[in-house]
Structure 1
């Protein structure tokens, strides 16, 4: 069975986006944190996206290495992003590109099917999609990059749950700027 990992940047008060879907609270990551996220992406065999995160990522990374000031790590991330197999869950998009396929149906059923298949770890991004997977008990690992800022509201990282989910802390790392990345596994 494949492992499903949910990881994102968030404010100390638990939001991945401030009101108005503003994700700029995190600012540009330090080179060390960017390398961490690059390694995270490279360790995945498949990335699952909700519509909003897909639109954010696909608006930049297809040509990410052509942006002014792009360094070697960003260029590598862009190449990896384009090459990585992706599944986009949306009922409103008509098409997706860049080695992605669109799923309009039951996200939980499709994620369950993908987890049961062969292959390496899968990552999931986007609060709504990850929230559905969380409530269905499908997430095996959480990677939380916490920034030292309070945004006061917005899109929460963790979904409202019907029951407790107990976790084991696997690792904690501190990065420049006071960003703390904690990795937890779901107790089964």
Structure 2
């Protein structure tokens, strides 16, 4: 059975985007943090995306390695992103590219099916999609890269849950700029 990992950059008060879907609070990540995300991406299997995150990622990463100021890590991320199998869950878009499959039906059923397969861990991103997986008890690990900024409102990383989820801390690391990364595994 595959492991499902939900991880993103977020504000200290728990938002992945400020009001109006503004992600300008994060600024460019340090080279060390970006390398950590690249290593994480390279160690995982398929990436599962909600529509908004898909649109953000697919607007830049297909050609991210061709930017004149791209760092070696950004070049590696772009190439990894293009080649990695991806699944986008949306009922409002019609086409996807770059080794991606579109699912318009029941997201929880499809994620459950994908988790039942053998293989490398899957990553999931996007608050709405991850929230559905969280409520269904499908998330095995949470990766939180908390940036030292408070935005007050926006799109929360965590969704409202019907019951508690107990976690075990498995890693803590501090990055330049005061970003603190924590990884938690779900206690089953």
Q: Secondary structure at the match of 1:20?
A: helix
Which residue is 2:101 aligned to?
A: 101
List gaps (5 residues or longer) in structure 2. none
Which residue is 2:63 aligned to?
A: 63
List gaps (5 residues or longer) in structure 1. none
Equivalent-residue separation in structure 2 for 1:123 and 1:160 (angstroms): 20
Q: Secondary structure at the match of 2:20?
A: coil
Aligned residues: 188
Which residue is 1:150 aligned to?
A: 150
Deviation string, structure 1 residues 91-116 (Cα, Å, up to 9, x no partner): 00001000000000000000000000
Moved more, 68-77 or 132-141: 68-77
Q: CA deviation at 1:50?
A: 0.2
Moved more, 64-73 or 17-26: 64-73
Equivalent-residue separation in structure 2 for 1:15 and 1:49 (angstroms): 17
Q: Secondary structure at the match of 1:88?
A: strand
Q: CA deviation at 1:118?
A: 1.4
Equivalent-residue separation in structure 2 for 1:187 and 1:24 (angstroms): 34
Q: Secondary structure at the match of 2:144?
A: strand
Which residue is 1:6 aligned to?
A: 6
Which residue is 2:126 aligned to?
A: 126
The answer to whether residue 41 in structure 2 is matched with residue 41 in structure 1 is: yes
Equivalent-residue separation in structure 1 for 2:42 and 2:4 (angstroms): 14
RMSD: 0.5
Deviation string, structure 1 residues 113-133 (Cα, Å, up to 9, x no partner): 000011110000000000000
Which residue is 2:163 aligned to?
A: 163
